[in-house]
A and B are shown apart, each in its own frame.
Chain A
Amino acid sequence: MNLTLRVWRQAGPDAPGRFETYEARDVSPDSSFLEMLDLVNEDLIAQGEVPIEFMHDCREGICGTCGMMINGQAHGPQALTATCQLHMRTFSDGDEIVLEPWRATGFPIIKDLVVDRSAFDRIIESGGYVTVDTNSAPDANLIPIPKETADLAMDAAACIGCGACVAACPNGAAQLFTSAKVAQLNMLPQGQAERYDRAEHMVEVMEEHFGSCTNMGECEAACPKGISIDFIAMMNKDYRKAKFRGRRSA
């Protein structure tokens, strides 16, 4: 199949960007979206043009590195699918595909379709963990955890940190990412000791970098792992409780 790509090219963080048009020829419908970009890059290199930089690594939908806006949708048109798992049979011969990087203040553009998502790491550093030193853990089966709770925690923990939630959110908010970690740890017995501090600190660091939630649900729809916005409500509750209970440590 043959396609026309309109790709955002930007030489560096402060350089002006613009859309460039490229033709992708003889693309196999069985190839992945990123392999199609590889092919375009091979052509560019052959022509002596600098190839398109895009984010990718594991190419099996788990590392969370890949991601771009494809025709106005984060990770493209297929639900529950990261960019790397999108395949060309989703498109038709002759299609025009528009590629743009994630856009948000918290995700500054580095080059072309590559953005800096380190703000997510700042959020995790502010409380997305259980404080337990190596070698100080009790036996793993000491605390039974209801299967239902463990399963729900796993639903939240499935987040791959790709940033599609922020990219898709009309407000550039990171509530889905943050709440997935807050909810996972706050619903498990291991996370109780730091429950309210965690909610408070993570929400506040999140708000330094990202917008606020207006409950539109775009994040949930864009999430390749189907993380539910119910977790956002859980986080909002814990944050409120944290404030009202005055549980802040001095």
Chain B
Amino acid sequence: MAATAPERSKRSPFIVELYRSALGKKYVMAITGIVGLGYVLAHMIGNLKLYQSAEDFNLYAETLRELLYPIAPEGLVLNLLRGVLILALVGHVVAAAQLTAMNRRARPESYRSKRDYVAADFAARTMRWTGVIVLLFLFYHLADLTWAVTPLHEAGDTVYDRVLNSFNNPASAGFYILANLALGFHLYHGVWSLFQSMGWNNRRFNHWRRTLAVAFTVVVIGGNLSFVIAVLTGVIS
């Protein structure tokens, strides 16, 4: 006999209720993803100063601390931005973990025979893993260049020096390249995907979504990889 759909439980504040739904979590993924996209793009553009000179690059790093100073106390804006980024990151990771758990519940027993995927590309199927790689790299990257706690650096190194130290170390450079490739796949699927999740859908422009995803990925990852290549080939020294 057929049962009817159960009645909904009592109402919570709408934002809580929205988040409770998988679609709400998808919106969180998309919006925090957009924050992340803005960050990686700005980060890449800022780092282009590596090509100008060590002084310019170090000045840029310093200026970031002094954003809006003296209107705001030194470091406040940067820390606020950091706060937003951390929140976005946590939101992105938590929502992803919850959605993954939900999807595992939706198919606890996987197919016994080999799946033959038709549409799901490498990027789409590896979001979870590229995400984890990027996250691990993020901690390493901060430890390496921001906190300088890795053994690559000596006291008194400028940020510029640290970049060079890091990229001249094969293991460190290799991790950087791997993480950027992972980030590339993650960005490619993420950019196109966020339009679907947010329901930004217009038949006339839909085919541009993939193009935009490719363009954004190429620009950001191309820029990032150019730095390590420039260091390894001696263009920057």
Contacts and interface: CB of A to CB of B under 8 A. Distances in A.
Q: Are any A and B Cβ atoms less than 8 Å apart in their complex? A: yes
Interface of A: 6, 8, 19, 69, 71-73, 77, 79, 98, 100, 103-106, 118, 121-122, 125-126, 168, 170-173, 201, 203-205, 207-218, 220-222, 229-230, 232-240, 243-244, 246, 248
B21 A207 contact: yes
B196 A236 contact: yes
B115 to A, nearest CB: 5
Contacts, number: 151
A104 B106 contact: yes
Given A217-B124, A236-B26, A240-B198, 5 more contacts: A19-B112, A122-B3, A122-B5, A215-B192, A221-B118
Interface of B: 2-6, 8, 11, 14, 17-18, 21-27, 99, 102-103, 105-121, 124-125, 127, 189, 192-193, 195-201, 203, 206
Contacts of A72: 111, 113-116
Contact of A100 (B27, B103, B112): B112
A214 B119 contact: no
Given A216-B125, A217-B119, A220-B119, A230 B201 contact: yes
A238 to B, nearest CB: 7
B191 to A, nearest CB: 11
A71 B113 contact: yes
Given A237-B201, A240-B198, A246-B14, A218 B2 contact: no
Given A100-B112, A237-B199, A121 B2 contact: yes
A100 B106 contact: no
12 contacts: A72-B111, A104-B106, A105-B105, A122-B3, A168-B118, A171-B106, A211-B107, A214-B193, A217-B119, A221-B119, A230-B201, A236-B199
A192 to B, nearest CB: 17
A51 to B, nearest CB: 21
A126 B5 contact: yes
Contacts of A248: 11
Contacts of B6: 208
Contacts of A208: 6
Nearest to B4: A125
A22 to B, nearest CB: 15
Contact of B107 (A103, A204, A243): A103
Given A103-B111, A122-B5, A171 B23 contact: no
Contacts of B107: 103-105, 171-172, 211
Contacts of B200: 233, 237
B127 to A, nearest CB: 7
Contacts of A209: 106
Nearest to A168: B118
Given A170-B125, A207-B21, A233-B200, A100 B113 contact: yes
B33 to A, nearest CB: 12
B201 A233 contact: yes
Contact of A69 (B23, B111, B189, B195): B111
Contacts of B124: 214-217
B199 A212 contact: no
A8 B113 CA distance: 10
B188 to A, nearest CB: 12
A199 to B, nearest CB: 10
A218 B109 CA distance: 19
A148 to B, nearest CB: 10
Contacts of A230: 201, 203, 206
A237 B200 CA distance: 7
Contacts of B197: 213, 215, 236
Nearest to A18: B112
Nearest to A121: B2
A213 B26 contact: yes
A121 B113 CA distance: 28
A221 B118 CA distance: 6
* Of listed A104, A232, A236, residue having the most chain B CB within 10 A: A236
